[in-house]
């Protein structure tokens, strides 16, 4: 444990010396989780907030191109008959198919084909009340893939109107289920007179969406072409959540205390995970982090910036890219904080002030 300010400064100087060799860049890790079952935009937003961070923020085309969004689930004709508890196909045939099967509960009695990475296909047992895409019985060109999301019984009724029910097939026929271009909910939506992201109050600056009709005020991204489009928010669609490695600690501590607090954090699920005070880069990353700052109980939040000797340094050795920090800060204002009254930079503050703070997790 660091027992004095002198020891703390000595340690930070040592740490910054190491960082000049390692040359760390951004430490913020933003990941995405695609949910294949259908939901309205509002319910998708609620789910993402409960289980991850929020509906996805995608800042520009370059970021969109890096995303793999092609996986989907689609209902097929396999289901378990309630009266006999036997698995059957809607065409009445025994196709002898094997699937990656698990013990199913009472409400998991319907089959769906999952299309994943690298054209990998597998049959799953799902809750029949989920809203999924679906495939109707094979015609001369293959299995008609319907890009509407319904429950299993609704999909079966739809397919019975001219297509002889949901798709029934043998294992070798699974190759007919291929890549599809379909819409996925993201966090962009019409809020008042502008387009804003669910994650925060920041107005969109990159996509330049046209004015939609009154009932199409939520935005999707297409799975293959990565094009954005507006749709009615009540439409059932798969959705994309975002998650990151930031930890907002809503305790009021001095900068020295938060330095020790972050480094002392441990994960109950990953013993290798370590923590440190967060470093930030200007631009889109700064904007993303500010959304988390707005959740704090204090007006300002400590981050890992410290004035040592004659320069500002991040304690984890990340590159210092803010060019407007005072090179001779006022006495005692030697620690960095982000303010809810965001000026697009890090503020110099008295290290003894007590604030909430931002940590981040990493695998060493």
pLDDT tens column, 102-140 = 445 556 889 999 998 878 888 888 999 999 999 999 887
CA angle 339, 340, 343 (to 5 degrees): 65
Token pair for 244: 């990151």
The domain 30-68+181-243 is placed in CATH, from the list 3.30.365.10, 1.10.3470.10, 2.30.110.10, 3.10.100.10, at 3.10.100.10
Q: What is the mean pLDDT of residues 343-352?
A: 93
Quote the percentage of the chain above a pLDDT of 90.
55
Residue 303 contacts residue 312 (beta carbons within 8 Å):
no
User: Which range has the top average pLDDT, 88-102, 130-144, 156-170, 346-360?
Assistant: 346-360
Q: Please state the length of the chain.
A: 364
Domain ranges of the chain: 5-29+245-362, 30-68+181-243, 72-176
For residue 261, what is the enclosing H or E element? helix 255-264
Closest CA to 223 of 58, 70, 121: 70
Range ranked top by mean pLDDT from 2-6, 25-29, 344-348: 344-348
The answer on pLDDT for 1 being more than 50 is no
Mean pLDDT on 323-345: 89
- Helix (H, G, I), strand (E, B), or coil: what is residue 22? helix
Mean pLDDT of 195-220: 78
pLDDT: is 42 or 169 the higher one? 42
Topology alike, domains 5-29+245-362 and 30-68+181-243:
yes
Evaluate if residue 16 carries a pLDDT over 50.
no
Please say whether the beta carbons of 108 and 127 come within 8 A. Answer: yes
**The dihedral of CA 248, 276, 350, 340: what is its sign?**
negative
- Could you give the CA distance from residue 215 to residue 316 in angstroms, rounded to a whole number? 48
Across 296-321, average pLDDT? 92
Q: How far apart are CA 349 and CA 238, in angstroms?
A: 44
Higher model confidence: residue 264 or residue 95? 264
Alpha-carbon gap, residue 333 to 331, rounded angstroms: 6
pLDDT number for residue 97: 66
Residue 152: which of 170, 128, 136 has the closest Cα? 128
Asked if the model's pLDDT at residue 284 lies above 70, the reply is yes
Is residue 208 predicted with pLDDT exceeding 80?
Answer: no
Q: Is 335 helix (H, G, I), strand (E, B) or coil?
A: strand
Pair 339, 302: CB distance under 8 Å? no
CATH of 5-29+245-362, one of 3.30.200.20, 3.30.70.20, 2.130.10.10, 3.10.100.10: 3.10.100.10
Considering the chain, what is the average pLDDT of its residues? 86
């Amino acid at each position: 444990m660091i027992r004095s300010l002198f020891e703390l400064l000595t340690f930070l100087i040592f740490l910054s010396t190491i960082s000049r060799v390692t040359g760390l860049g951004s430490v913020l890790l933003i990941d995405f989780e695609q949910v294949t079952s259908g939901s309205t935009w509002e319910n998708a937003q609620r789910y993402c907030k409960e289980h991850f961070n929020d509906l996805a923020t995608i800042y520009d085309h370059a970021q969109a191109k890096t995303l793999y969004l092609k996986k989907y689930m689609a209902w097929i004709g396999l289901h378990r008959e309630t009266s006999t508890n036997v698995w059957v196909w809607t065409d009445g045939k025994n196709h002898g198919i094997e699937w990656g099967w698990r013990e199913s509960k009472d409400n998991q009695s319907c089959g769906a084909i999952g299309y994943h990475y690298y054209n990998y296909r597998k049959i799953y047992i799902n809750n029949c009340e989920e809203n999924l895409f679906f495939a109707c019985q094979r015609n001369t060109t293959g299995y008609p893939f319907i890009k509407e999301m319904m429950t299993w019984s609704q999909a079966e009724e739809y397919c019975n109107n001219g297509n002889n029910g949901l798709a029934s097939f043998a294992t070798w026929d699974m190759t007919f289920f291929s890549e599809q271009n379909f819409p996925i909910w993201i966090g962009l939506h019409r809020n008042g007179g502008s387009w804003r992201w669910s994650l925060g109050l920041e107005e969109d600056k990159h996509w330049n969406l046209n004015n939609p009709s009154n009932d199409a005020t939520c935005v999707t991204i297409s799975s293959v072409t990565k094009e954005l489009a507006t749709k009615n928010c009540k439409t059932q669609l798969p959705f994309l959540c975002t998650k990151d490695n930031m930890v907002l600690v809503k305790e009021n501590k001095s900068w020295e205390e938060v330095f020790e607090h972050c480094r002392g954090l441990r994960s109950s699920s990953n013993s290798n995970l370590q923590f440190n005070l967060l470093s930030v880069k200007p631009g889109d990353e700064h904007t993303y982090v500010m959304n988390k700052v707005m959740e704090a109980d204090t007006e300002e939040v400590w981050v890992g910036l410290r004035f040592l000797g004659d320069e500002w340094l991040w304690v984890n050795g990340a590159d210092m890219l803010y060019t407007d920090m005072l090179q001779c800060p006022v006495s005692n204002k030697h620690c960095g904080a982000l303010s809810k009254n965001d000026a697009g930079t890090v503020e110099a503050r008295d290290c003894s002030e007590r604030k909430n703070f931002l940590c981040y997790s990493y695998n060493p």
